[in-house]
């Protein structure tokens, strides 16, 4: 079992390095061998880090580029920094929130979401344990996600401890136009009473980002759920993580110590690489889709399973990037290819003020299917106004050839 008292303070895996013999053989990079393990696994845990989202253009704030203005980003992600200067910290997180509203899930996120949906229909399980706070896994369609470091789009009240989703852009009027990362930006502190405030009845307490800062303990409930999945999985993937941040750095080695296959997908070796059975070098957006694609031994899936991603191509204000979309197929008989009509609607009636969102729907099936009678529903978890209900839709199918049909039953 993991030690719950561990915090997210960055620390090198000195103990693990000491235990690993320098002459230990490198892990296998045989994809066919990994795919064999994948084909029989019933409970798969996928641990993801900043490297996954970096391919979506999300700043990692690590290494030489880890600065916002003249401050090292990690120095702003502490309770002490927020206590000293809540205005500066909120500007930093406002900048990150606004950047994230312009990003979209990449092929690695989509492959994980498609795998979870496909295997779920077979009675198999995929759990994502992510260190990322950007919610790109959820936006890609993943449902079984444990965000061990919290979310950029959640807030917690320092007075009443109420926690909730918040996708407002900006989160408060005083942050409008703030957060520029240029080191020459002149700092103009925002009065604390104008910073984000709790809207619970009679509270009005100061809000903070609901993320785990350096020096803070992880949420015990989330950590307990992660422990349970790690203790019961029969395959583990470590994707885009440096393996230096505790306690996530010990998750995969703990699984490997049980004799369970662990596969690392990264651009380089990490301190834990030689503890794993598999290691695949390269961009996660290239290596992961191939690793998680439908295995020939899997049963045919009913057509077609679409994953939906809503993205905002603009950097303007958006109160909520999650809107509702309904897609239907106008054909009632087998047809060649996904001839879809899309009806995109917003369940709210608020005035349009912001950018036009686009809905991108992709089909993860790679084998021919009959009659794409498709429907996908995206729902909005918020009841607050959405600034842009006018959406455009882009529909794509990953099928590589026309769908073979029985000519006698084909539509004219």
Domain of residue 207, CATH code: 3.30.1600.10
Give the three-class secondary structure for 155: strand
Q: What is the pLDDT of residue 123?
A: 95
Phi, psi of 184 (to 5 degrees): -90, 0
Is the CB of residue 167 less than 8 Å from the CB of residue 319? yes
Q: What is the pLDDT of residue 70?
A: 87
- Whether residue 396 is contained in a domain is answered as no
What is the rounded average pLDDT of the residues 119-134?
A: 97
pLDDT at 248 over 60: yes
- Whether residue 81 is contained in a domain is answered as yes
Same domain, 281 and 244: yes
- Cα gap 371→274, rounded to integer Å: 47
Q: Which two tokens stand for residue 74?
A: 């990690």
- Whether residue 97 is contained in a domain is answered as yes
Tell me the binding residues for substrate.
93, 96
What is the rounded average pLDDT of the residues 312-336?
A: 36
- Cα gap 372→394, rounded to integer Å: 16
Per mean pLDDT, which range of 3-7, 23-27, 272-276 is the poorest?
Answer: 3-7
Same domain, 177 and 64: yes
How many domains would you assign to the chain?
3
Domain that holds residue 361: 307-312+324-329+341-348+356-365+373-380
261 or 14: whose pLDDT is higher? 261
- Whether residue 9 is contained in a domain is answered as no
Which residues are designated catalytic?
149
244 or 293: whose pLDDT is higher? 293
The CATH number of whichever domain residue 282 belongs to comes to: 3.40.50.1220
Tell me the binding residues for NAD(+).
49-68, 131-134, 240-242, 266-268, 284
pLDDT at 131 over 70: yes
Contacts 24+ apart (CB under 8 A), 326-331: 326/375, 326/376, 326/377, 327/361, 327/374, 327/375, 327/376, 327/393, 327/395, 328/374, 328/375, 329/372, 329/373, 329/374, 329/375, 331/371, 331/373, 331/411
- Whether residue 36 is contained in a domain is answered as yes
Query: pLDDT above 90 covers what percent of the chain?
Result: 58
Is the CB of residue 357 less than 8 Å from the CB of residue 388? yes
- Whether residue 63 is contained in a domain is answered as yes
Same domain, 299 and 237: yes
- Whether residue 86 is contained in a domain is answered as yes
Mean pLDDT of the chain: 75
What is the rounded average pLDDT of the residues 347-356?
A: 33
Q: What is the pLDDT of residue 301?
A: 56
> For the whole prediction, is pTM greater than 0.75?
no
> Which residue in the block uniquely carries the two structure tokens 């003249």?
70
Tell me the binding residues for Zn(2+).
157, 160, 198, 203
For the chain, what is the largest distance between any 2 Cα atoms, rounded to a whole number of angstroms?
74
Per mean pLDDT, which range of 135-149, 152-166, 196-210, 363-377 is the poorest?
Answer: 363-377
Same domain, 192 and 236: no
> Which residue in the block uniquely carries the two structure tokens 């890609």?
140
pLDDT at 64 over 70: no
Q: What is the pLDDT of residue 183?
A: 86
């Amino acid at each position: 079992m993991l030690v719950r008292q561990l915090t997210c303070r960055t620390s090198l895996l000195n103990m693990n390095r000491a235990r690993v013999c320098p002459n230990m053989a490198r892990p296998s990079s045989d994809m066919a061998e990994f795919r064999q393990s994948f084909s029989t696994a019933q409970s798969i845990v996928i641990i993801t880090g900043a490297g996954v989202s970096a391919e979506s253009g999300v700043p990692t704030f690590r290494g030489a580029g880890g600065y916002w203005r003249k401050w090292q980003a990690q120095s702003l992600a502490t309770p002490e920094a927020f206590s000293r200067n809540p205005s500066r910290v909120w500007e930093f997180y406002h900048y990150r929130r606004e950047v994230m509203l312009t990003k979209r899930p990449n092929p690695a996120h989509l492959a994980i979401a498609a795998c979870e949906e496909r295997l779920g229909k077979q009675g198999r399980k995929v759990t994502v344990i992510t260190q990322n706070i950007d919610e790109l896994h959820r936006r890609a369609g993943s449902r079984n996600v444990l965000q061990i470091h919290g979310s950029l789009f959640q807030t917690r009240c320092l007075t009443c401890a109420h926690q909730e989703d918040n996708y407002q852009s900006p989160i408060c009027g005083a942050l409008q136009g703030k957060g520029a990362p240029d080191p020459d930006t002149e700092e103009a502190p925002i009065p604390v009473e104008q910073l984000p405030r709790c809207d619970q009845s009679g509270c009005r307490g100061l809000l903070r980002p609901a993320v785990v800062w350096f020096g803070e303990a992880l949420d015990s409930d989330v950590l307990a759920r992660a422990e349970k999945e790690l203790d019961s999985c029969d395959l583990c993937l470590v994707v885009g993580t440096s393996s230096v941040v505790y306690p996530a750095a010990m998750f995969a080695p703990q699984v490997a110590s049980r004799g369970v296959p662990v596969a690392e997908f990264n651009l380089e070796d990490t301190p834990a690489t030689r503890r794993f059975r598999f290691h695949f070098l390269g961009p996660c957006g290239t290596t992961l889709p191939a690793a998680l694609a439908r295995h020939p031994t899997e049963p045919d899936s009913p057509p077609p399973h679409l994953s939906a991603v809503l993205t905002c191509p603009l950097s303007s204000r958006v109160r909520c990037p999650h809107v509702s979309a309904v897609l239907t197929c106008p054909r009632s008989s087998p047809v060649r290819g996904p001839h879809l009509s899309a009806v995109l609607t917003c369940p709210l009636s608020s005035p349009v003020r912001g950018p036009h969102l686009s809905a991108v729907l992709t089909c993860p099936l790679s084998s021919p299917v009959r009659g794409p009678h498709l429907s996908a529903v995206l729902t909005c978890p918020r009841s607050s106004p959405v600034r842009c209900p006018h959406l455009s839709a882009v529909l794509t199918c990953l099928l590589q050839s026309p769908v073979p049909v029985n000519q006698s039953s084909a539509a004219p």
